[in-house]
Structure 1
Amino acid sequence: MDQKINRWSVLTASTIILLCTGAVYAFSVFAGPLSASKGWSMATIMLAFTINSAISPIPMILGGYFTDKGWSKWSIAIGGLLFGLGFFLTGLATTPAMLYLTYGLIAGLGQGLAYSGCLSNTIKLFPDKKGLASGIITAGMGGAAIIAAPIGNYLVQSHDVLYAFRVLGIAYMLVVLVASFFIREAPANYQPAGWTPTATKNGGTPVNKNWASMLRSPYFYLIFLMLFTGAFSGLMIAANASVIGQQMFKLTAATAAFYVSLYSLCNCAGRVVWGVVSDRFGRNNTLYIILGVIMLAFFILVSLHSQASFAIGIVILGLCFGGVMGVFPPLVMENFGPINQGTNYGIVFVGYSAAAFFAPKVAANMAAANSGDFTKAFYVAIVVALVGLMTNFVYMQLKKHADKKANTSHLAA
C-alpha cells in the first residue's frame, strides 16, 4: 500500500478545480442581464440552472464509478473541461434551447463528473478527518461565486453577459488543465502515517455496501430525504439571491452581486466549519442545529424588510447550506463504507438534484405570481426544513435502536 502520496496537494488541486465548476452558484448575477439582453423571461432562464443541477445524478454516479475503479483523474479532468466548454458555448447561445444544451446539459454533466471525482477521491485520503476534508473540498464548490460573481458582474457591465460567459469558460478550462496534473488516485484502504482505524462498535467488521445493498437499507431513504430538505433552502437562495435583493430589498445590481459573493463566502466557510463540528459532535447532531437555524433565518427574512435583515439571512443561509454539503459525504461513508463511496454518494446525491429541480422553480414561480415577493417561497422553505428535522429525529431513533440491539446480541454471544 502506497502511503507516500501527498494528500494535501491532491486536496488543494481538487479544491481549485471545484472553484471553477462551482461558478453555477453565481448564476443569479448572469440571469438578469441575460433576460434583459435576450428578452427571455426569468422563468425561462432559470430552467437552465434547474437542468444543470437536476441532471447531476448521471455524471455523479458515473464519476463515482470511475473513482471507485481508480480513474478519478480522468473523471476530474474531463468533467472540468466539459464545464468550461459549456460555459464558453453559453456565450454563443441565441435561443433558450441552446442555453439549455450548453449551460444546462454540457456544463451540468461536466460539473457532476468533476465534483464526484474530486470529492470521492479526496475523502478516501482522509479517513482520519472526513468532516474536515469534505468541508474543504466542497468549499471549492461553495466558494466559487466569491470569485465568479464580481468578475462576472464586471465583465457584464464592461462588455455584455455573453462575453462574460465566453471569457470565464476559457479561464476555467485553462485552470482545470493545470490543476489536473496534481491529482493522484487514492490507494485502496489508504491509511495516513501514524493513524489506525477506530474499532467498530461491538467489535464488528467495517461495513462496505455496494449500491444495491445500500438501496435495501432504510437509512438510505432517510439520508436521501434529509439531503433534499437540507439543500432545498440553499438552492432556492443560490439561484435567486441577486433577484431577491433587487426586487424585495431594493438593492442595486452591484450591491446584490456583493451579497451573492457574501453568500458564497459563507457557503464556503460553512462547509469547513460545520465539517469540523460534525467530526466532533456527530453528523446528525450537527444537522439538528443547521436545520433549526435555517428556519430562524427565513423567519428573519419574512419578518424584517431591511438591507440588514437581508444580510443576516444571506450569512446564516450561506453558512447552513455549506454545512449541509459538508456533512453528508462523511455521513454516507460512515453508513455504507469507503470502498463504494463514489457510486453510493452519487446515488444519494439524487436528493440534492431533486431539490435543485424544485427549489429554484418554486421560488421563481411564487415570486412571479406575487409581484416579485418571495415571502410565500420562504414559508415553503421553512416547512421543508421542519420535515428535515423530523426525518433526522427518525434516523437517530432507528440508529439508537439498532445499536442497542447489536450491543445486546454481542453481550449474549
Structure 2
Amino acid sequence: MTTTDFTTSVPYREVPDRNGRLYRIGETDRDIMGRPRWTMVLFPWMGMLGISSSEYAFTSAEDTLHEAHLWNSGHIFWLMGVWIFFQAAVAFPAGQLRESGKLPARYAMMLGALGTLLGYLSLAFAPHVIVAYIGFGMFSGIGAGLVYATCVNMVGKWYPERKGGKTGMVNGGFAYGSVPFVFLFTSYMDLSNYETVLVFVGVTCCTVVAVAGWFFKDPPKNWWPAHVDPLKVSDDPRIVRALAKNPPAVKQYTPREAARTPVLWMMWFCLLCTAGINIFGIAMQVPFGKEMGFAGGIVATAMSLKAIVNGTGRGVIGWISDRYGRRNTLVIVCIVLGCSQFGVFFSGNMGSMPFFLICSMVSGFGGGAIFPLFAAMTADYFGENNNASNYGMVYSSKLISGLVGSGVGAVVVSAWGYGGAFALAGSIGLGSAVLALFLRAPGRPSAKRVVPNPHPIGEEMA
C-alpha cells in the first residue's frame, strides 16, 4: 500500500457559524489523501500499539533486570517515572512544532520509532544504570511522547464531528498492545535470554511504529467532512446526538488563549490526579500481588487483564461520552477509579484471587478511560486546529503524575504500607470526581444564564 499526495486543487469554501468559527467544507478524505479517513484511525492505532509495552509491560521485567544488571527495585520504579516524565514533557513542544509545519506527522513517527528502539537496546546492554536512564528513560520517553501526541491528535482532526469513540479506540492501543509483552517478560524472559528478548521487542515495536507513521497525513486547517453540514442538523442520529452532548468549541483557541482560561488548568489538575492513580496501579500492582502471596502467573494475568480492560475501556468510554457527554462520563470514571483502589487493596489483603482480578480490571478501566476523555474534551472546548498544543498543555500534568505515581508511590508504600497508599489513591480519585463537576467549555453561556427574549418574534406590539 502506498500513499499519494494530491496537489490538484479541489473546490472548497469556508463558512462561519454564529460564533464566527470557520469550517472548511467541500473536500472529501479521498480528495486530500487518496484513501478513506478510517485509515487514519487504523494507522494511529498501530502506532500506539508500538509504544505501549514501554509503560504497561516494563514493570513485569523488574525481576530479570534486577538480577541481570544488579539494579535495585527503586531504580526500576524511577526508570518508569523518568520515562513518563519525558513522554509527557515532549507533548506541548511537539504540538507546537507539528502545528507550525516544522515537524510533519510522518517525521514525528519516525523519530518515535527510533527512540523506542534505543530504549530497549539500552535496557539490554546498559553497562551502568545511568545509560538506562538516558536510553530508556529519556530517548524512549521522548519517542513515545512524539508518537502519542501525533496519534491521538491526528484522529480528532479527521473525525471532528464524532471524535469520542475514534479517539478512544486509538488511545486504547496504548494499553492492550502491551499484553503479549507482559507474558513474555514475566513467563519467558530470564538471565539466559534477556538481551535477545529485549532486542526482539525493540525491533518489533520500532517497525510497527515506523510502518504506521509512513501513512500519516494531516487534513487542512478547519477541515470538516464534506457529507456533514456543520450549519445544519445532520440526518445521522449518531452525529446529532454527539454534537448535542458535546458541541464544537465556540472558536479555535490558540495555546495562549486557552492558557488564559481557568478550565484548562482545572483539566490539568484533574488529569494530574487521575493519571497519578493510574500509574500508581501499573507500578505497584505486580509487587503488591506478589507480597500478598499470589503466584507469578496470577499476577501476570491480573496485569494483562488490567491492560486489556484499560485499552478496551478507552474505546468504550469514547463511545459512551459521545452519547452522554464528556464531562458527565468523566465524573463517573473518576468515581470508579477511586473506589477500585480500595477494592484492589482489600481483595489482596483477603487473599481472594477472583476479587483481586475483578478489582484490577475495574481499576484498569477507570485508569485508561481518563485519557481519551481529556483528549476529546480538549478539542471540544478549544477546537481542533491547535489541539496538539492545547492537549499538550493538559497532558503535561503527566510530568508530575508519572513521578508521583511511580517513584513517590514507592516511597509512600515504604512509609505507610500498601493500605495507606491505596487509601490515599482512592481518596484522590473521589476528589477528582468533585472537581470534574465544575468543568465547562469556555465562551459558551450556561443554560441557566440565558435570558429569554422579552419580545419574542410574532408578538404584537401596541
Relative to the length of structure 1, the TM-score reads: 0.91
Give the equivalent residue in structure 1 for 2:127. 94
Q: 2:409 is matched with which residue: 357, 363, 383?
A: 363
Report the Cα offset of residue 16 of structure 1. Answer: 0.9
* Aligned position for 1:41: 72
1:377 matched residue in structure 2: 421
Find the aligned partners of 1:162 and 1:402 in 2 and give their Cα distance. Answer: 58
Counterpart mapping for 1:189-338 below 5 A = 189-197=222-230, 206-248=250-292, 250-304=293-347, 305=350, 306-338=352-384
Structure 1 residue 66 displacement after superposition = 3.3
* Residues 237-246 or 319-328, more deviating: 237-246
Deviation at residue 391 of structure 1 after TM alignment: 1.0
Asked whether the equivalents of residues 339 and 430 of structure 2 are also in contact (C-alpha less than 8 Å), the reply is no
Counterpart for residue 152 of structure 1: 185
Q: Contact 2:344 / 2:360 at 8 angstroms: preserved in 1?
A: no
Aligned length: 408
Distance (whole Å) between structure 2 residues aligned to residue 134 and residue 220 of structure 1: 19
- Aligned 8 A contact 1:227 1:351 in 2: yes
Percent of aligned positions that are identical: 22
Paired with 1:96 and 1:376, the residues of 2 have a C-alpha distance of 30
Q: Does 1:347 align with 2:388?
A: no
Q: Which moved more, 1:292-301 or 1:276-285?
A: 292-301
Structure 1 gaps of 5+ residues are none
- 2:154 aligned with 1:121, yes or no? yes
Per-residue deviation, 1:404: 4.0
Aligned residue for 2:51?
Answer: 21
**C-alpha distance in 1, partners of 2:282/2:228?**
38
Q: In 2 relative to 1, CA 409–91 (structure 1 residues): closer, same or farther, beyond 3 Å?
A: farther
CA shift at 1:229, angstroms? 1.8
Q: Alpha-carbon deviation of 1:411?
A: 8.1
User: Do the aligned partners of residues 408 and 72 (structure 1) sit closer, same or farther apart at CA in structure 2, a change above 3 Å counting?
Assistant: farther
Q: Quick check: 1:54 aligned with 2:97? A: no
Aligned-partner SS, 2:431: helix
Distance 1:368 1:338 in 2: 44
Give secondary structure in 1 for the equivalent of 2:253.
coil
Q: Whose helix proportion is higher, 1 or 2?
A: 1
Q: Are the counterparts in 2 of residues 88 and 170 from structure 1 also a CA contact under 8 Å?
A: no
- Report the alpha carbon displacement of residue 343 of structure 1 after superposing the two structures with TM: 0.7
| Residue of structure 1 in register with 2:116 after alignment | 83
Report the Cα distance in structure 1 between the residues aligned to 2:394 and 2:344, rounded to whole angstroms: 30
Deviation at 1:348, TM superposition (A): 0.8
Quick check: which has more Rg, 1 or 2?
2
1:119 deviates by 1.1
Instruction: Give 1:214's aligned amino acid.
Output: A
Q: Aligned match of 2:174 in 129, 141, 144?
A: 141
Deviation sequence 1:46-88 (CA, Å, 0-9, x none): 1110011012333211321233235222112211221222222
1:69 aligns to what?
Answer: 100
Amino acid at match of 1:309: F
Cα RMSD for the two superposed structures? 2.6
Q: 1:395 to 1:122 in 2, by over 3 A?
A: closer
The letter of the residue matching 2:271 is L
Contact 1:45/1:96, CA 8 A, preserved across alignment: no
Secondary structure of the structure 2 residue equivalent to 1:50: helix
Q: Secondary structure at the match of 1:128?
A: coil
Once residues 149 and 198 of structure 1 are traced to their aligned partners in structure 2, the CA distance between those partners, rounded to angstroms, is 48
Whether the aligned pair in 1 keeps the contact of 2:258 and 2:382 (CA below 8 Å) is: yes
Structure 2 match to 1:183 = 216
Q: Does the C-alpha gap of structure 1 residues 33 and 54 become closer, same or farther in structure 2, counting only changes over 3 Å? A: same
What is the CA–CA distance in structure 1 between the aligned matches of 2:251 and 2:444, rounded to whole Å? 18
